[in-house]
Amino acid sequence: MANEVTVALVGATGAVGQEMLQILEERNFPVGELLCLADPSEAGSKLKFKGQTLTVGRADAQAFKRADLAFLAVGTEVSRSLAPLAIENDCVVIDNSYAFRLDDGVPLVVPEVNAGALTTHRGIIANPNCSTIIMVVAINPIHQAAGIKRVVVSTYQAVSGAGKAGLEELDQQVRNYLHNDPMTPQVFQHQIAFNLIPHIDDFVEGDYTREEMKMVWETRKIMELPDLKVAPTAVRVPVFRSHAESINIETEKPLGAAEARRILESAPGIRVLDDPAAKSYPMPWFTSNRDEVFVGRIRKDISIDNGLAMWVAADQIRKGAATNAIQIGEIIIQQNLY
Amino acid sequence: MANEVTVALVGATGAVGQEMLQILEERNFPVGELLCLADPSEAGSKLKFKGQTLTVGRADAQAFKRADLAFLAVGTEVSRSLAPLAIENDCVVIDNSYAFRLDDGVPLVVPEVNAGALTTHRGIIANPNCSTIIMVVAINPIHQAAGIKRVVVSTYQAVSGAGKAGLEELDQQVRNYLHNDPMTPQVFQHQIAFNLIPHIDDFVEGDYTREEMKMVWETRKIMELPDLKVAPTAVRVPVFRSHAESINIETEKPLGAAEARRILESAPGIRVLDDPAAKSYPMPWFTSNRDEVFVGRIRKDISIDNGLAMWVAADQIRKGAATNAIQIGEIIIQQNLY
């Protein structure tokens, strides 16, 4: 039986925070005391955890002093200010934002891929970008078997990537459509209902978005392949919670589709859904509210000698964010890394 | 002034047929007489053309005898039976189905790419697959400039690809969603609202769908590159009319993104929308009901030496079907090929 720890959940009222609350309960995370923290404007609101009503408090030094472990499910700027405060108060931080992901000394961890990196932490562990988590869980077993040279990936990303407000905007816009009311984009750059937006996060370099470059930078760090070639295109689609990705992989060694399927079937965190005759393949409506990364349409890439194509989907809020962070927390506790 | 011809429009009551009717009018196609034909069950229904009301008739030998040119906007099986009947009656066929596309002696034509192939026809000209038309318009100018070695393409295909019934199914399912009613898929394999289905047409070989293999086979024929390497993934998305495609191209010679953009800006049938800072890129909601192929997100493929990535969208019913067929018809008339 693991030690029970005092857990601070910062951003407890957001989409990822609320999911974390549920997953902490589902997985019977060894929570002694749970401090639900949020922006001062949300302090005082009530949340349910294991049948108890908890009052949301402020994320301040006092709170972090009481906590052993803090999950930050807040924006990058808020993480930048709160993480140092938590560390000063001897609280290990598992941060969901982009703030520290590429910093030296900050492990960027997907437990199925690089749990070993956790031992090197200096107080902050970064939870990777959602699309990156989903991709590396699916491609790492292929890399272990045949060595990956190049990845071409096109994403189909759910609106949950923009949090509760993103979920509400899609819902509102389909209502507007049915009532012939105008759709006014607020969260996304353009209307998202019945549309596709090839623009997630800001444009940063070479006309790639930061979301796309995260899939390059973070994949290299997690897989410890600093020269891995990744060609990403990130697209927002009118889907609620599950991201999907069309992935073409070029490998060093030949690896047949059947063998790849067998490898993926026994890989951690993956569920293979790949029976085309039975119309079985991963689809967002059905992979939502689940923790696994679903992989299907596994087939030879017919355009190169050593290549595979696959279609991957996973819940962006769960494995793409909350579940992965909590898995990290479980290892931190099991291995006494706090 | 071109000769006026008698035109038979078969499948006039379907999604593509209705669009053709509108485009024939918009483009002032040199129609002398228009025979709207359809399945016997639809005979007698009324359609509007240039302010006149036309009665839908039966697609039979008598009708084809009167017509110089027949557009077939019907399913593959119906085309297989009607095309020979039209030819026997000296009527040149422009067929939208898959029936004859890969047959020797049947030109498969996208006017911006291979209009020259029309001179070799023997009575039937095939209109290509929608995703293929959209892709080849966008990639052919790149091929002319730098030689294409390999294409990796992931599609985001609108429900209009399944005709009126597809459009109605998405509309109905979002209504069901808002009323908490169950969604019962009839046209698509699974629910399409708020979902993604990586399965269009049947699975045919190597766990690829026919829709995917069309993008291989038809692209090779249209571009006259029998060995072109194409790796396709075709996915249905909850969008009404415009398909989109994420395309990664490997070229023989280096070609910078800026130069590619200039080439595409002056290429026929293309409109470049590529100003990320101004949030300008192709999106289905805005590229619907338009004839051009919209290209944006033109950038270097950062995973290879000679590569480009781009994002393409175009109205599946228009350039993906009806407009392309009518452009073919215009050339047939201008060049007296009937």
Q: Could you report the predicted ipTM of this complex, rounded to two decimals?
A: 0.97
User: Which 11-50 residues of chain A touch chain B by CB within 8 A?
Assistant: none
Give the separation between CA A251 and CA A297, rounded to whole angstroms.
Answer: 17
Assign A3 a pLDDT band (cuts: 50, 70, 90): confident
Phi, psi of B34 (to 5 degrees): -115, 125
Burial of B221 (0-12, 13-18, 19+ CB in 10 A): buried
Q: By the CB < 8 Å criterion, does B309 face chain A?
A: yes
Cβ within 8 Å of residue A187, ≥6 positions away: A159, A162, A165, A166, A168, A169
User: Is the pLDDT confidence value at B82 over 90?
Assistant: yes
Q: How far is B101 from chain A (nearest CA, A)?
A: 21
Own/partner long-range contacts of B213-218 (Cβ < 8 Å, ≥24 apart): B214/B98, B214/B101, B214/B128, B214/B129, B214/B131, B214/B132, B215/B129, B215/B131, B215/B132, B215/B135, B215/B153, B215/B155, B216/A302, B217/B101, B217/B102, B218/B101, B218/B102, B218/B108, B218/B128, B218/B129, B218/B132
Query: Amino acid identity of B47?
Result: L
Containing A124, the helix (H) or strand (E) segment is strand A124-126
Subunit contact B191:A299, Cβ cutoff 8 A: no
Q: Name the active-site residue from B36, B121, B130, B143.
A: B130
Distance of residue A59 Cα from the nearest chain B Cα, in angstroms: 36
Q: Which amino acid is at B48?
A: K
Q: A135: which chain B residues are within 8 Å (Cβ-Cβ)? A: none
**Cβ-count burial of B26 within 10 angstroms (0-12 exposed, 13-18 middle, 19+ buried)?**
exposed
SS (H, E, C) B147-192: CEEEEEEEEEECHHHHHHHHHHHHHHHHHHHHCCCCCCCCCCCCCC
SS3 A197: strand
- Whether B278 and chain A come into contact, CB under 8 Å, resolves to no
Q: Are B94 and B127 in contact (CB under 8 A)?
A: yes
Q: Are strands A242-251 and A148-156 parallel, antiparallel or unpaired?
A: antiparallel
Instruction: Give the CA distances from residue B268 to residues A52, A320, B137, B139, B294, in Å, rounded to whole numbers and listed in that order.
Output: 66, 42, 8, 12, 11
Q: Compare all CA atoms of chain A with the CA of B190 and give the residue at the minimum distance.
A: A279
Contacts of A112 (CB under 8 A, 6+ apart): A137, A140, A267, A268, A269, A270
Residue B9 has phi, psi (to 5 degrees) of -115, 105
CA nearest neighbour of A321 among A69, A3, A37, A11:
A11
A187 interfaces chain B, CB cutoff of 8 Å: no
pLDDT tens for residues A115-152?
999 999 999 999 999 999 999 999 999 999 999 999 99
Q: B139 touching A, CB under 8 A?
A: no
Q: What strand order describes the sheet that includes B31-38?
A: B57-58, B31-38, B5-10, B69-72, B92-95, B124-126
Q: Which helix (H) or strand (E) holds A163?
A: helix A163-178
Of B239, B212, B337, residue with least CA distance to A309: B212
Give tens-digit pLDDT for B290-322.
999 999 999 999 999 999 999 999 999 999 999
Q: Please give the positions of A annotated as active site.
A: 130, 243
**Cβ neighbours for B228, distance < 8 A, ≥ 6 positions apart:** B148, B150, B151, B219, B220
Residues of chain A with Cβ-Cβ distance to B205 below 8 Å are none
Contact B196, A246 (CB under 8 A): no
Which residues of chain B make contact with A204, given a CB cutoff of 8 A? none
**Cβ separation A302–B208 shorter than 8 A:** yes
**pLDDT-derived band at B2, boundaries 50, 70, 90:** low
Instruction: Calculate how close chain A gets to B26, using CA atoms only, in Å.
Output: 26
pLDDT mean over B20-24: 97
> What value does the mean pLDDT take over residues A26-51?
94
User: Taking CB atoms and an 8 Å limit, are A156 and B237 in contact across chains?
Assistant: yes
From the list A286, A149, A332, A293, the residue with the least C-alpha distance to A228 is A149
List the 54-93 stretch of B: residues with Cβ below 8 A of A. Answer: none
What's the pLDDT at A40?
A: 87
Average pLDDT over residues B276-285: 97
Per-residue pLDDT of B130-158, as tens digits, reads 999 999 999 999 999 999 999 999 999 99
3 state DSSP class of A191: coil
Q: Does A206 touch chain B (CB under 8 A)?
A: yes
Say what the pLDDT of residue A2 is: 58
Residue B274: φ, ψ to 5°:
-150, 70
- For residue B6, the tally of other CB atoms under 10 A from its CB is 17
pLDDT value of position B3: 76
pLDDT digits (tens, 9 = 90+) for A52-98: 999 999 999 999 999 999 999 999 999 999 999 999 999 999 999 99
Range B198-216 average pLDDT: 97
Closest CA to B238 of B200, B185, B189, B197: B197
Which residues make Cβ contacts (< 8 Å) with residue A203, sequence separation at least 6? A209, A210, B276, B277
- Annotated active-site residue B243? The verdict is yes
Output the CA–CA distances (angstroms, integers) from residue B37 to A235, A297, B74, B252, in the order listed: 41, 40, 11, 47
Calculate mean pLDDT across residues B242-255. 98
Q: What is the DSSP letter of B321?
A: I
The residue with tokens 């209705």 is B18
Supply the pLDDT for residue B40.
87
Write the Ramachandran bin of A75: left for phi over 0, alpha for psi from -120 to 50, otherwise beta. Answer: beta
- Tens digit of pLDDT for each residue in A295-315? 999 999 999 999 999 999 999
Q: Cα(A298)–Cα(B231) distance, rounded to whole angstroms? A: 13
- Across the interface, which of A231, A239, A284 has its CB nearest the CB of B302? A231
Q: What residues does B230 pair with on adjacent strands? A: B151
Query: How high does pLDDT run on average in chain B?
Result: 97
**Within an 8 Å CB–CB cutoff, is residue A333 touching chain B?**
no
Closest-CA residue of A relative to B150 is A303
Rounded distance, CA A204 to CA A198, Å?
14
Contact (Cβ atoms closer than 8 angstroms) between residue A243 and residue A131: yes
**Strand-strand pairing, B293-300 and B270-272:** parallel
How far is C-alpha A133 from the chain's CA centre?
5
Task: Give chain B's domains with CATH numbers.
Answer: 5-128+321-334 (3.40.50.720), 132-316 (3.30.360.10)
What does the block give as tokens for A38?
A: 């949020």
Q: How far is CA B109 from the centre of its chain?
A: 11
